[in-house]
Structure 1
Amino acid sequence: MKRYSLWITLVFTFIVLFAAGGLLYYDALLSPVAEDRQPPVIIEIPGNSTSRTVAEMLEKKGLIKSAWAFCLYSRYKGWDGKIQAGEYQLSAAMSTPEILGAITRGSQVFYSFTVPEGYTVEQIAQLLQDKGLVNKEEFLRLCREGIDRHYPFLKNHPGTNYLLEGYLFPDTYKITKQSTEKDIIYMMLERFNAELEKLNFAQKAEKLNLSVHQAVTIAAMIEKEAIFDKERPIISGVIQNRLKKGMPLQIDATVLYALGEHREVVLYKDLEVESAYNTYRVAALPPGPIACPGSASLKAAVEPEKNSYLYYVAKPDGTHAFSRTLAEHNRNIAKYQ
């Protein structure tokens, strides 16, 4: 009987030791491949990947010790089917649980881009294509035709080159490699909408007898004309004054937009270009914005300074000389240009 009890004890002890050893071995398989700090590796997980295919890829890349241990741990945590597609920055110094946590939380690699104030949609499209983030032609097609999401400020306006011109808010954005052209546009439109709400833009435009589209059109011209924020409300006031008098706005930036190219100097022959955007020939607002304005220009468009100026000319330092009469304006031209 004693011998029987001894055998049971020995067998039990062996099972415990075997189980403990197995657990230690399993824990070892879950531990990082490398103990010291390792440079990160960018791994792309395709859509609809299973834990098995991901495990095999990670093992082949030397990021985990065991595909089997990876799958077992994933099943134990209930993470099978929760792995998210995308790009991830992983390291051989990360444990299997850490790697699984990252790819199931969707902690993807983000790419940032900054759209400067005053960029046109064509410049934005080129910027994003140069960074490898969009197909330029597809981006421009969406900007021209619009998107399948409703925004109160987006309506069809006859004669505009791009429906979304002026409405992609200049800012810094972070996206993943999975982001599409449409995703990026949605992001920028949402940011624009938030800015309009913050400025109480629509209500202020209405008090000036302007539609949102007209006010954004004015904001875009202010953006292209002003370098310094303090001058934006003054220029806005000049635009309002000229509109009330039925005078052509005579803004060079609208001519350049009509020409479809940037030039350092606008020539007299350029002013003859046949276009509804040419504010030298048309005594009215252009059909739509000529660029994407930032917050300061949007604010200035609906909060113009009350003044009696009708003209302004650029000085060498980037500021402007404002005048009330053509004679005074001509003297400023002679002085500063």
Structure 2
Amino acid sequence: MNRKSIVKTIFKSAEWTIFAVVVIIVSLAFYLVQPVKSNRVLFLPAGTGATIIAYLHRSGIDANGLDRYLLRFFGYPQQGWIDIGTTCLTKADFLYRLTHAKAAMTKVKLIPGETRVIFFDQLARTLKLDPKKLDNAYRRYAPYPDGVIWPDTYFVPMGITEEHLVYHLIKRSMARHERLSKKFFGTYNEKKWFRYVTIASIIQKEAADTREMPLVSAVIYNRMKKGMPLQMDGALNYGKYSHVKVTKRRIDEDMSRFNTYKYTGLPPSPVGSVSLDAIKAAIKPANVDYLYFVKGKNGKHIFTKRYKTHLRNIKSVNK
């Protein structure tokens, strides 16, 4: 073959190569703009790109062998639950979001006054978790049976385990307790602080509103000062009894230290979660000499120092 023929063959081969490259690029570009339908929130298992693509394919999403190679150009795929933001997007955008999307989060609002039992029932329903596993984890990490978890709005990653969720809640809540203690007292003594939380937890359940909280707090301190039993139903609304009406039978049969009709002083630990207002009231009760209160017909409480007046108030309310 002469020189001219060799050059011609090389150019012809190059032309075919360029043509092939152009075809591949055009085909790839066409492929990457094809629509993909997906759930907005996806679960990606741990493993290689091939493992993730195979899992998505089994889940009914248009993902195939080519995607496992293309995925490498977009980055390393996430793990766990992710939020890709939409349900219909191009193949290129879909592969990009598999590697860059944020974790899917669920908002959970925990209300002051509720017990850990109620919190865990709520979390179990919202996040599809096992309440028993939540409770077991709590017992391992929390220093007190209740009142540790700070009521707040939390954004929780979907797919989180019971162990990690409880650890996160307790770690964050205990840090909050410590910050508040240092704000009010300049120091943090866990035992001393949770004594205030215990008082606040009773206030939280007894007071009709935030304005009553310092008054209820005063009654608690005044009764303890005189050696009187607190005799507050809210203390018996602990654990699973959070929303159970306190009856005479319940008072007679409950032998726990939470029964402030049978025992003087405070319960051994908080009876539920507390708000900042309840904490403030526990630290600084109203300067009044009240010893009794009863709920009036308007839902507010009537406070008094004298027992005879208290009996008249009860009679008036029950008319």
Sort the TM-score into its range (normalised by shorter chain): 0.7 to 0.9
Q: Any conservation in 2 of the 1:83–1:103 contact (CA below 8 Å)?
A: yes
2:196 corresponds to: 215
Inter-CA distance 59–279: structure 2 relative to 1 (3 Å threshold):
closer
Correspondent of 2:132 among 137, 142, 149: 137
Does the alignment pair 1:76 with 2:109? no
Q: Any conservation in 2 of the 1:41–1:89 contact (CA below 8 Å)?
A: yes
Secondary structure of the 2:73 match is: helix
Does the alignment pair 1:292 with 2:273? yes
Correspondent of 1:189 among 134, 150, 170: 170
Q: Any conservation in 2 of the 1:45–1:87 contact (CA below 8 Å)?
A: yes
TM-score normalised per structure 1:
0.79
1:55 corresponds to: 53
CA deviation string 1:180-216 (max 9, x = no partner) = 2222222322442343345336854989xx8112111
Q: Any conservation in 2 of the 1:45–1:85 contact (CA below 8 Å)?
A: yes
**Aligned residues with identical type, % of pairs:** 25
Once the two structures are TM-superposed, the CA of residue 254 in structure 1 deviates from its matched residue by 1.8
Q: Any conservation in 1 of the 2:38–2:61 contact (CA below 8 Å)?
A: no
Select between 177-186 and 215-224 the one with higher mean Cα deviation: 177-186
Distance 1:57 1:259 in 2: 41
Once the two structures are TM-superposed, the CA of residue 237 in structure 1 deviates from its matched residue by 2.0
Structure 1 residue runs of 5 or longer lacking an equivalent are 148-153, 156-162
Inter-CA distance 56–248: structure 2 relative to 1 (3 Å threshold):
same
Once the two structures are TM-superposed, the CA of residue 167 in structure 1 deviates from its matched residue by 0.7
Structure 2 residue runs of 5 or longer lacking an equivalent are none
Correspondent of 1:102 among 97, 100, 118: 97
Secondary structure of the 1:111 match is: strand
Aligned length, in residue pairs = 312
CA deviation string 1:229-262 (max 9, x = no partner) = 1111221122122222222111012234399474
Does the alignment pair 1:270 with 2:268? no
RMSD, aligned CA: 3.1
Once the two structures are TM-superposed, the CA of residue 92 in structure 1 deviates from its matched residue by 6.1
1:150 corresponds to: none
Does the alignment pair 1:169 with 2:150? yes
CA deviation string 1:19-62 (max 9, x = no partner) = 1221121222222425xxx5735432222x21012223434556
Distance 1:203 1:42 in 2: 43
CA deviation string 1:132-162 (max 9, x = no partner) = 532122222233x332xxxxxx64xxxxxxx
Paired AA for residue 297 in structure 2: P
TM-score normalised per structure 2:
0.83
